[in-house]
Structure 1
Amino acid sequence: MMITIGITGGVGAGKSTVLDFLEEKYQAYVMKADEIGHLVMEPGQSCYEPVIALFGRQIIKNDKTIDRRQVSDVVFSHPELLEKLNQIIHPAVKQYIREQLAVKKQQEQKICVVEAALLLEDHYQEFCDTIWYIHTDEEIRIRRLMENRGYTREKSVSIIASQAPETFFRENADYVVVNNGDFAQTRRQIEEGIRKYETL
């Protein structure tokens, strides 16, 4: 039996740490929505032509790939284009994940993990067996963003404020992993979450 865990949480929550541990200890097959979003825009992939049609051929680089930085600069100041871009990318990402899950089930993979910042908003729970919310105290998240990404405190606070509140995540998650920096503690919670599925 295969289990699919959906992992979500705000920016700076340390979701990658949890994914790495699941991959290492449980040989989980991990899919990150962000990375798949880049993949589906590659030449020959499903979103390549639609994205060029939306932004124009000037976004094509010399190597034929889409200049994602240029795209992100444009959508930053044109919310309506961001909305259209999301309408192209998000369904393609979900379709890709569904196809991969079907393949992994055939291969008798035990654990698949899907990580997405907008996992709940985009209804990824449709194909996840359980949703885990990675919680980290706001002050720690701010510090991580400043240290790891070089953001100012103001920028960190504003990014966190633009995301769904903690109550939304807690109300919609099946399991909460607190990841405040003591990894031994985080690891115990992950192991406990996996133990709930004794059939594995």
Structure 2
Amino acid sequence: MPLIIGLTGGIASGKTTVANLFHEHFGIDIVDADIVAREVVEIGSEGLNSIALHFGDDILSEDGSLNRAKLREIIFSNPEEKQWLNNLLHPLIRNKIQQDLASISSPYGFLVAPLLIENNMQEMVDRILVVDVSSEEQVNRTVIRDNVTSEQVEAILKSQVSRELRLSQADDVIENHTKNQKLLPQITELHQKYLAIELENRSK
């Protein structure tokens, strides 16, 4: 398997932007944990069938898809049900991520995972790249992007690991503090670095 980089960062740090720039400019394959999490509960999936069996058909929308709002409502007020759901979905998500990583064909690849550290996914990657941004910037961006209050964003920030802990886990860091931060030079430099590491790994 090629070199796998875990790309993470707090809310509104610019993870998706960074991943897309690596893909658009250098053709690097991306596995997105959030997309995988949606795929494992698609219509007809083992995940969705198990959820419907456990919670009843009321958990489904009219078209047979998962009613996420209703599910969130249930698990928000019931820690045991939340634990049951996590026990079901986490293995399914990890297995699908492993399958997708195994099919990467670019010289190295990314696993984009906002909760990489929170969900202890470090063993799935060779290096960790953190997109770093100040908490003030995170609040400002999320309020504008999601039309939510700053208090709601603060609550989300508290549910994620601290900026300091995330940076302590990083092998590489991209700084994205301001709107005009130049991302491409940082990305180009890291691209060259990852190619060199992959080359060295293959020659061992």
Please give the secondary structure, in 1, of the residue aligned with 2:5.
strand
How many angstroms does 1:94 deviate by? 1.1
> What code does the residue aligned with 1:64 have?
G
1:185 corresponds to which letter in structure 2? K
Task: Please give the alpha-carbon distance, in whole angstroms, between the structure 1 residues aligned to 2:149 and 2:50.
Answer: 35
Partner in structure 2 of residue 4 of structure 1 = 4
**SS, match of residue 187 in structure 1:** helix
Cα RMSD of the aligned pairs, angstroms, is 1.8
1:56 match: 56
What is the number of equivalent residue pairs in this alignment? Answer: 197
Which secondary structure does the structure 2 equivalent of 1:47 belong to? helix
Against the structure 1 CA distance between its residues 161 and 121, is the aligned structure 2 distance closer, same or farther, given a 3 Å change threshold? Answer: closer
Matched, 1:140 2:145: no
1:17-50 deviation digits (Å, cap 9, x = unpaired): 1111111111122122112111100122231222
Q: What is the correspondence of 1:62-73 to structure 2 with a 5 Å cutoff?
A: 62-73=62-73
For residues 191 and 60 of structure 2, what CA distance do their matches in structure 1 show? 44
- Runs of 4+ aligned structure 1 residues displaced above 3 Å come to none
Asked whether 1:185 is paired with 2:182, we answer yes
| Corresponding residue number in structure 2 for 1:20 | 20
Q: Which amino acid is the alignment partner of residue 90 of structure 1?
A: H
Cα distance in structure 2, aligned partners of 1:126 and 1:183: 34
Cα offset for 1:53?
Answer: 2.6
TM-score between the two structures when normalised by the length of structure 2: 0.88
The answer to whether the Cα contact below 8 Å between 1:4 and 1:130 also exists between their aligned partners in 2 is: yes
Measure the CA separation in 2 of the matches of 1:129 and 1:46.
Answer: 30
Q: Check if 1:157 corresponds to 2:190.
A: no
Query: 3-state SS of the aligned residue for 1:91?
Result: helix
Task: Give secondary structure in 1 for the equivalent of 2:182.
Answer: helix
Q: Check whether the contact 1:3–1:112 (CA below 8 A) recurs between aligned residues.
A: yes
CA distance in 1, matches of 2:107, 2:83: 36
Distance 2:7 2:41 in 1: 23
Q: Which amino acid aligns with 1:163?
A: Q
Other structure's SS at 1:176 match: strand
Q: Which amino acid aligns with 1:135?
A: D
What percentage of residue pairs aligned between the two structures are identical?
29
Gaps of 5+ in 1: none
Residue 113 of structure 1 corresponds to 110
* 1:6–1:114 Cα contact (<8 Å) kept: yes
Quickly say closer, same or farther: Cα 1:117–1:80, change in 2 above 3 A: farther
TM-score, length of structure 1 as denominator length: 0.90
